[in-house]
């Protein structure tokens, strides 16, 4: 687990990510260096195609940098094997997607229990109790026995957040989590993120919805694969 | 249950039709294996049990004369002899629906104390009184009679009489009567005498007390007994030592069932390939879910374990479904074969090893086949999995570029063609599956046709239509003039024949003939040189050219591996060795082991100069109907002229008898071919579904830019039909190789000569129609399903 309060939780040094395309090479990230401190709600903003999702993928280990290094809580993520990465990610990073990405053939409760099953955290009985507690935290416990298709978008995203918190990771990342929700629901999701940050989680959110900027303590602005600015709003 | 396994179970139950196809693909293979192996196991055991229940003779010594009861008692005390009995076998004729058919009379010494070559009583009297006979159950059909009916019969030296069927028995050592187109009757010596024959037992049947399955030992003991008999002035005609403990059809049955076993495993293998392609579809469908699971902590190993568990569930369901069904099919299979071989199934239990093999192969083969797509799918990187948008990113290959440039096709078809070649590894699997199914289907029909073609050679090799074996050798002139006078008879030749054997190290004529006198027999056929009624297929050397020479031509069943042209061979005639020079080898269809010699030379040896023992007659009209009519006319004419006939065998009867021997093989091959066709079509459905599924979003894009549902349907259907047509071409080429090897195998076990390679146009036509129609339906359903998805849904497809 990551428990360093005053040191940077995430440290990227000279990270570049290049993709081969028909016309040559596309630089999705170009020599990005940044640090993110723990227990903060951080926004990554930028236009479509600016590289913000790539940056998030690099942080979560979903993608690997072409050059540069990624250190999260002292762990050199870019050096981990695929299997090590899966295990590390399961325990240390909770990921929330724009389209919720709940597994359709598992109930809400089972969706939340699945990361615990993969990472073998908690005893079997504890998993159920823990999952129910998380669903209660995101106000969706009464839907535990239902399948995702029976839930609204906002409810599904709450379940996705509960699932992201299943193994109690210190870092939560969300890629445009409210892009598919109405503004009322989106507000409630951002409130939930703020609560989580207050409770000690580091929450990184990729977004281009300016109306929620008040929730963020740090904002990293990306354009053309480079960090334009890293602003600490409440510094 | 852990959530990950719960997901597997729910994934399986959420798409019944698709997963049912997976279950079906494996189940067909496991079913085939169980049916064949189950049938095989029961038949092997029961054939042996049936045959051994008759207490078959180790050897039969045929003498010239009568075996007295005193002599028999002495033989019973002979060292190394466990049991001995005396019998006689007479080939007579029976009249059924105004036509004469052969009937084999077994003259039993004591019906109550039979210890060798026993049979099982079924109904009626157990001991036939004078003027009655017991009949083998399969002969009733040939006789067109039932218990209590009277049959008109005639023996070589007797007059026409009627014998009542007093009872029915089962003799599993005999091939079914309908297969041999002959009757089997069991009579007492008194009845034989009443029929006009000499009352003598000329067959001594013995069972050895040791090494009862060693042919060499049995031969040695039989020779010792023969020596002993000879010392007492008894002439030994022949010693028959059939394969010890082996039913006359055992080798053929085992060979045929081995083919079926290979076929059934092939079906499972094809089914498994289908499962592998289907699992690849599933992995495509689940790729984003795999990405999600990896994102939340699932490792490649954990994920692959989940999908292997899914495969295991599919396999287990397939096994649970197919094992009981295969037992039913095995029952049907062994019941049919048992009927064909005249066996009585007394114990129908299928050995445990059969379900064990089904379980092991039903799990291992599909698991191995599906391992590559499962492992590959599970190892996909998280980013690749999450970035899967249902729009193929495959590069355009040169073949596709060529197809896109050709102006021979419409735009839609050009696009269909390019789609066919997009997923080349999948295309190879599908083509392999369909082509293998098609190749085996065409092979089955090709072999069936080749079999028919070979059977027709019975007519092209035999230019005669009727063979009449005379009771006594006669001067031909007296016979020919009366037969040639019959309208429609074009040619009559006088031949002769004798039972024989190749003499090697023994002073006796030792044959492998079974008690039915047919299986394992060896005969000499003496013919006028040149003959106009035989068109032999000479495969080496030359045909008989010089009358009066000591030249011999042997057919493939008489030939041994060490024989070459120019060798001398000793053949027994009436138990005496005669020396012949081999000048050629032939391939005969439907003949037992035969040595062809000049009748002039034969007559000198047999002391029958100028006489003939057999007539071969050709008709202008070779149809079965005409042959039957002419046969009747000839019988009447011979009867009127007091010429006694021991057997009259029309060529069509021989044709039918040979055809009946392999009918079950050909039918079973066709059944296997049908299973192949089902698996092949399922494979095509799976592939098209997968291709369409992968391109759901792409199809959405096409619709968004104006493609109508009709265009989409046409695109997908043409893609399916193109794959189908390609597979037909490959299947055709492969089927030629398969047909050749299968023809060699089947030809060798049935005729000891390969079947001629035959291409069945009907097989090609059926397969073309089946695959074209199958391809249409295999692709029209995914096309319809895709068209039901709205453009918005298709574009949002993940």
Residue B126 is predicted with a pLDDT of 92
Residue B796 is predicted with a pLDDT of 56
Indicate which of B2, B3, B287, B303 best probes the interface with A, i.e. most A CBs within 10 Å of its own CB. Answer: B3
pLDDT in tens, B168-183: 999 988 878 877 778 9
Evaluated on CA atoms A85, A87, A91, A94, the torsion sign reads: positive
Which of B9-23, B212-226, B353-367, B558-572 is the least confident region? Answer: B9-23
A141 burial level (CB within 10 Å; 0-12, 13-18, 19+): middle
In the numeric block, the tokens 């893609």 are attached to: B719
A161 inside domain: yes
Reported confidence tier of residue A233, pLDDT bands at 50, 70, 90: low
pLDDT in tens, B520-551: 678 899 999 899 999 999 999 999 988 888 99
Residue B792 is predicted with a pLDDT of 59
Which of A149-153, B336-340, B392-396 is the least confident region? Answer: B392-396
A25 inside domain: no
User: Whole-angstrom Cα distance, residue B685 to residue A199?
Assistant: 54
Interstrand relation of B235-240 and B510-511 (parallel, antiparallel or unpaired): parallel
Task: Please tell me which of the candidates B2, B289, B297 has its beta carbon nearest to residue A86.
Answer: B297
According to DSSP, the residues that pair with A15 across neighbouring strands are: A32
pLDDT in tens, A15-61: 999 888 777 888 888 888 888 888 888 888 888 888 888 888 889 88
Evaluated on CA atoms B54, B55, B59, B60, the torsion sign reads: negative
A9 inside domain: no
According to DSSP, the residues that pair with B136 across neighbouring strands are: B169
Range of the domain at A124: 38-64+79-232
Task: Tell if the CB–CB gap between B382 and A99 is shorter than 8 Å.
Answer: no
SS3 B107: strand
User: Whole-angstrom Cα distance, residue B50 to residue B337?
Assistant: 13
SS3 B153: strand
DSSP string, A104-116: TTS-HHHHHHHHH
A10 inside domain: no
Residue B402 is predicted with a pLDDT of 65
User: Whole-angstrom Cα distance, residue A86 to residue A80?
Assistant: 9
A103 inside domain: yes
Residue B495 is predicted with a pLDDT of 92
Of residues B428 and B689, which shows the higher confidence score?
A: B428
Residue A2 is predicted with a pLDDT of 41
For residue B777, the distance in angstroms to the closest alpha carbon of chain A comes to: 29
Q: Where are the alpha helices (DSSP H) in B391-423?
A: 398-405, 411-420
Asked if residues B140 and B168 have their Cβ atoms less than 8 Å apart, the reply is yes
The yes-or-no verdict on residue B798 having pLDDT over 60 is no
In the numeric block, the tokens 């027709």 are attached to: B456
Asked if residues B191 and B133 have their Cβ atoms less than 8 Å apart, the reply is yes
For residue A119, the distance in angstroms to the closest alpha carbon of chain B comes to: 6
Residue A5 is predicted with a pLDDT of 47
Which of A47-61, B477-491, B604-618, B775-789 is the least confident region? Answer: B775-789
Residue B356 is predicted with a pLDDT of 94
Residue A54 is predicted with a pLDDT of 87
A22 inside domain: no
Domain count, chain A: 1
Residue A186 is predicted with a pLDDT of 84
Q: Where are the alpha helices (DSSP H) in B144-249?
A: 177-180, 189-194, 215-231
Task: Please tell me which of the candidates A87, A97, A110 has its beta carbon nearest to residue B297.
Answer: A87
Q: Give every CB contact of residue B734 below 8 A, 6+ residues apart in sequence.
A: B435, B436, B438, B439
According to DSSP, the residues that pair with B379 across neighbouring strands are: none
Rounded (5°) CA angle B275-B279-B280? 120
Residue B321 is predicted with a pLDDT of 92
Task: Please tell me which of the candidates B3, B293, B382 has its beta carbon nearest to residue A113.
Answer: B3
In 3D, which of B403, B399, B413 has the Cα closest to residue B718? B413
Interstrand relation of B132-136 and B203-208 (parallel, antiparallel or unpaired): unpaired
User: Whole-angstrom Cα distance, residue A19 to residue A21?
Assistant: 6
CA max distance for chain B: 106
The yes-or-no verdict on residue A108 having pLDDT over 70 is yes
User: Whole-angstrom Cα distance, residue A174 to residue A70?
Assistant: 18
Asked if residues B480 and B494 have their Cβ atoms less than 8 Å apart, the reply is yes
Residue B188 is predicted with a pLDDT of 93
The yes-or-no verdict on residue B517 having pLDDT over 70 is no
User: Whole-angstrom Cα distance, residue A19 to residue A104?
Assistant: 32
**Cα distances (Å, whole numbers) of residue B756 to B441, B631, B732, B736:** 18, 31, 17, 12
Of residues B737 and B788, which shows the higher confidence score?
A: B737
Which residues 16-75 of A have a C-beta within 8 angstroms of B?
57, 60-63
pLDDT in tens, B350-407: 999 999 999 998 899 888 888 888 888 888 888 777 765 444 445 556 666 666 566 6
pLDDT in tens, B197-209: 888 898 999 999 9
Q: Indicate which CATH number applies to the domain containing A181.
A: 3.40.50.300
DSSP string, B439-496: HHHHHHHHHHHHHHHHHHHHHHHB--SEEEEEEEEE-HHHHHHHHHTSTTEEEEEEEE
Asked if residues B699 and B794 have their Cβ atoms less than 8 Å apart, the reply is yes
Evaluated on CA atoms B441, B445, B450, B455, the torsion sign reads: positive
Which of A162-166, B325-329, B601-605, B781-785 is the least confident region? Answer: B781-785
């Amino acid at each position: 687990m990551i428990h360093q309060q005053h040191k940077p939780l995430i440290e990227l040094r000279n990270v570049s990510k290049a993709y081969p395309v028909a016309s040559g090479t596309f630089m999705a990230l170009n020599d990005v260096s940044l640090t993110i401190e723990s227990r903060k709600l951080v926004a990554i903003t930028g236009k479509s195609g600016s590289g913000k999702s790539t940056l998030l993928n690099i942080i979560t280990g979903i993608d690997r940098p072409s050059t540069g290094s990624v250190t999260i809580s002292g762990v050199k993520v870019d050096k981990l094997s695929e299997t090590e990465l899966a295990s590390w990610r399961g325990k240390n990073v909770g990921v929330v997607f724009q389209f919720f990405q709940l597994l359709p053939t598992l109930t809400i409760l089972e969706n939340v229990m699945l990361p615990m099953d993969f990472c073998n955290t908690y005893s079997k009985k504890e998993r159920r109790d823990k999952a129910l507690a998380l669903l209660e935290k995101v106000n969706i416990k009464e839907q535990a026995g239902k399948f995702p298709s029976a839930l609204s978008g906002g409810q599904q995203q709450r379940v996705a957040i509960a699932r992201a918190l299943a193994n109690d990771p210190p870092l939560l990342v969300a890629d445009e989590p409210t892009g598919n929700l109405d503004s009322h629901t989106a507000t409630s999701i951002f409130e939930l993120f703020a609560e989580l940050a207050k409770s000690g989680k580091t929450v990184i959110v990729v977004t281009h919805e300016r109306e929620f900027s008040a929730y963020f303590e740090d904002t990293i602005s990306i354009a053309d694969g480079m960090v334009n600015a890293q602003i600490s709003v409440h510094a | 249950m852990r959530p990950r396994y719960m997901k597997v179970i729910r994934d399986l139950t959420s798409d019944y039709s698709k997963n049912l196809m997976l279950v079906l693909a494996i189940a067909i293979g496991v079913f085939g294996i169980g049916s064949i192996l189950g049938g095989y196991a029961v038949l092997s055991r029961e054939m042996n049990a049936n045959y051994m229940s008759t207490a078959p003779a180790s050897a039969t010594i045929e003498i010239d004369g009568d075996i007295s009861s005193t002599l028999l008692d002495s033989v019973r005390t002979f060292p190394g002899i466990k049991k001995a009995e005396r019998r006689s076998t007479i080939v007579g004729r029976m009249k059924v629906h105004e036509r004469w058919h052969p009937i084999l009379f077994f003259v039993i010494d004591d019906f109550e104390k039979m210890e060798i070559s026993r049979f099982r009583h079924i109904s009626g009297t157990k001991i036939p009184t004078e003027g009655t006979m017991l009949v083998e159950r399969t002969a009733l059909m040939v006789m067109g009679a039932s218990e209590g009916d009277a049959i008109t019969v005639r023996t070589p030296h007797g007059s026409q009489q009627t014998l009542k069927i007093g009872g029915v028995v089962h003799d599993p050592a005999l091939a079914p009567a309908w297969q041999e187109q002959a009757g089997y009757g069991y009579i007492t010596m008194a009845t034989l005498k009443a029929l006009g024959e000499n009352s003598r037992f000329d067959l001594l049947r013995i069972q050895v007390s040791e090494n009862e399955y060693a042919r060499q030992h049995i031969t040695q003991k039989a020779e010792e007994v023969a020596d002993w008999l000879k010392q007492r002035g008894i002439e030994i005609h022949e010693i028959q030592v059939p394969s010890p403990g082996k039913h006359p059809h055992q080798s053929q049955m085992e060979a045929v069932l081995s083919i079926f076993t290979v076929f059934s495993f092939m079906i499972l293998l094809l089914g498994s390939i289908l499962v592998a392609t289907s699992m690849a579809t599933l992995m495509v469908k689940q790729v984003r879910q795999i990405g999600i699971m990896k994102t939340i902590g699932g490792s490649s190993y954990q994920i692959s374990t989940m999908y292997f568990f899914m495969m295991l569930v599919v396999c287990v369901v397939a096994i649970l479904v197919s094992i009981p069904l295969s037992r039913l099919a095995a029952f049907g299979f062994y019941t049919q074969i048992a009927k064909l071989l005249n066996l009585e199934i007394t114990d129908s239990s299928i050995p445990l090893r059969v379900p064990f093999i089904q379980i092991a192969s039903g799990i291992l083969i599909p698991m191995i086949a599906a391992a590559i797509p499962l492992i590959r799918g599970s190892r996909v990187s998280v980013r690749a999995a999450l970035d899967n948008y249902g729009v193929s990113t495959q590069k355009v290959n040169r073949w596709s570029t060529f197809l896109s440039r050709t102006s021979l096709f419409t735009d839609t078809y050009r696009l269909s063609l390019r789609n066919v070649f997009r997923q080349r590894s999948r295309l190879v699997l599908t083509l392999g599956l369909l082509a293998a199914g098609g190749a085996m289907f065409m092979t089955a029909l090709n072999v069936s046709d080749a079999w028919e073609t070979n059977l027709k050679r019975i007519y092209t090799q035999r230019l005669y239509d009727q063979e009449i074996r005379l009771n006594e050798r006669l001067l031909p002139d007296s016979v020919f003039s009366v037969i040639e006078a019959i309208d429609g008879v074009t040619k009559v030749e006088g031949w002769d024949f004798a039972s024989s054997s190749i003499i090697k190290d023994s002073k006796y004529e030792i044959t492998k003939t079974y008690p039915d006198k047919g299986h394992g027999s060896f005969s000499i056929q003496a013919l006028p040189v040149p003959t106009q009624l035989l068109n032999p297929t000479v495969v080496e050397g030359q045909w008989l050219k010089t009358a009066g020479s000591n030249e011999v031509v042997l057919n493939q069943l008489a030939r041994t591996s060490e024989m070459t042209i120019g060798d001398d061979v000793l053949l027994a005639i009436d138990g005496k060795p005669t020396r012949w020079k081999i000048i050629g080898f032939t391939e005969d269809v439907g003949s037992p082991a035969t040595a062809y010699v000049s009748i002039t030379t034969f007559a000198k040896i047999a002391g029958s100069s100028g006489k003939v023992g057999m007539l071969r007659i050709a008709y202008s009209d070779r149809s079965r109907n005409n042959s039957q009519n002419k046969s009747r006319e000839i019988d009447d004419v011979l009867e009127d002229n007091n010429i006694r006939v021991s057997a009259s065998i029309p060529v069509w009867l021989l044709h039918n008898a040979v055809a009946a021997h392999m009918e079950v093989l050909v039918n079973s091959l066709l059944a296997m071919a049908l299973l192949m066709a089902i698996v092949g079509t399922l494979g095509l459905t799976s592939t098209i579904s997968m291709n369409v599924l992968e391109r759901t979003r792409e199809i959405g894009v096409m619709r968004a830019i104006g493609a109508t549902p009709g265009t989409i349907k046409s695109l997908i259907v043409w893609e399916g039909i193109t794959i189908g047509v390609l597979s037909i071409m490959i299947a055709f080429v492969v089927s030629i190789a398969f047909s050749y090897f299968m023809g060699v195998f089947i030809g060798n076990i049935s005729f000891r000569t390969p079947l001629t390679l035959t291409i069945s146009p009907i097989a090609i036509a059926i397969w073309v129609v089946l695959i074209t129609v199958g391809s249409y339906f295999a692709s029209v359903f995914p096309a319809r399903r895709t068209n039901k998805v709205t453009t918005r849904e298709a574009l949002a497809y993940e």
